[in-house]
Structure 1
């Protein structure tokens, strides 16, 4: 299996600003991104497989 190009949609349902990072299998993790309350990041692309999202 080879890493695949994909997209991740992140949504902040918290009532405050948070910083998030996408953890990717077989590829580089994302940097930390600030997300405002109710915010959405639609176009974060990943090279590999999405594993999980963490706060940072």
Structure 2
């Protein structure tokens, strides 16, 4: 109970991809309405195609 798995992963981004990622996250963080929903949607878009380095439990 209360245990979590920690994953370490990475993904190479171009400068343009990095800028878009920052824009998407900042927009979600600054939202006055439905912030949690917008953050979840932003992370759903961002957290794809990562290369897993390791995991702990």
TM-score, scaled to structure 1: 0.22
Larger RCO (alpha carbons 8 Å, 6+ apart): 2
Instruction: Please state which structure has a larger fraction of its residues in helix.
Output: 2
Please tell me whether Structure 1 or Structure 2 has the larger radius of gyration of its CA atoms.
Answer: 2
